[in-house]
Structure formats: structure tokens, C-alpha cells
Structure 1
């Protein structure tokens, strides 16, 4: 399943801009087992679908960096951490409003 990362616009520095709700909806499309959490493989698929390089490596790094409870998944409580990671490492700007 390949789908483009749809965003509101691009900022002056070339980053894709999306609201936090758009970011959550995008990730939800890759929650293959519908458990409400994003696994490393599901995150890799999301990064790959958005045209990201080294998706497996980036998803592994993201899980390690933002998984506050150490269970190996990104859940609703950790989405903000993932959004911050995406801004730093995945050329995305998350808009909070």
C-alpha cells in the first residue's frame, strides 16, 4: 500500500507542514493490526510511503528515541514525542493549533 504524505503546504525551508491531527491520521493508516499503536515496521512503512530513505534504520532510531515506556511501540501518549522526532529528522514541521 503506497500513499503519499499529504500535507497542507511546504514551509520556506522546504519542510512539509501538517497539523498534529493530520500527522496522527497519517500514522493511523499504517496501523496494520489496528491495535492503536505504531510498531517499528509500521513506522518504517509510513516513512517509506512518504518517500523517506533508510526507513528501517530511521524507524528503529525513532522507536528508541520516543518510546517513553520502553514497550517497543508508539502509542497515543508518545505521539507528541514522535512528532518532535519527525521535525528533527524527517523534514516535517508539525503545526499545533
Structure 2
């Protein structure tokens, strides 16, 4: 998927439509993608991509999340 497709996918995860992905929204996405051990991976993902430590993944941290998804969730992202 392209980075734009990835961003559109993330918008679908944003249940409260605040423009950020919270730890629970990321956990739900990880649980669907990974299944077993999803809670542990989502916690690791949130810590590793949330650069400012506010508990949310916002537009400035999307690249971090894309890199995490490629490494841990078997998602391939194309940067065109």
C-alpha cells in the first residue's frame, strides 16, 4: 500500500474522529492484524511511535507508525 492509502486506513481507525490514534484504537487495529500477542505489540507500538509521549499518534508521528507496521505487522508501505 502507498503511504496515502496507509493514512486513509488510519483515518478509519480514528473512532472519535479527533485526527489522532489513541492507544486503544491502535490496540484494536493490531488485534485484527496480528491476533495473538496483540496487546503486547500494540503497547510496544504505541511506545515506539509516540515521539512526544502524549498517548496519541498524530500526523507528525505517522511515519513512525508506518515503520512500525512494516517491521511488526507485515505491512508493506510504498513511499511514492
Give the alignment's TM-score, normalised by structure 2. 0.90
Q: Does 1:49 align with 2:32?
A: yes
Task: Name the structure where strand makes up a greater proportion of residues.
Answer: 1
Deviation at 1:55, TM superposition (A): 2.1
Unaligned runs of 5+ in 2: none
Tell me, yes or no, if the aligned pair for 1:41 and 1:56 is still in contact at 8 Å: no
Q: Which has the higher helix share?
A: 2
Structure 1 partner of 2:72:
89
Q: Deviations over 1:36-67 (max 9, x none)?
A: 000111011112233x1222221110110011
SS at match of 1:92: coil
1:65 paired with 2:32, answer no
Q: Which runs of 4+ in 1 moved over 6 A?
A: none
The TM-score normalised by the length of structure 1 is: 0.76
> How many residues get paired?
79
Instruction: Return the index of the structure with the highest Cα Rg.
Output: 1
Matched residue, 1:26 = 9
Would the aligned equivalents of 1:31 and 1:42 in 2 still touch at CA under 8 Å? yes
Cα RMSD (Å): 1.1
User: Relative contact order, CA 8 A, sep 6+: which one is greater?
Assistant: 2
TM-fit CA distance, 1:77:
0.3
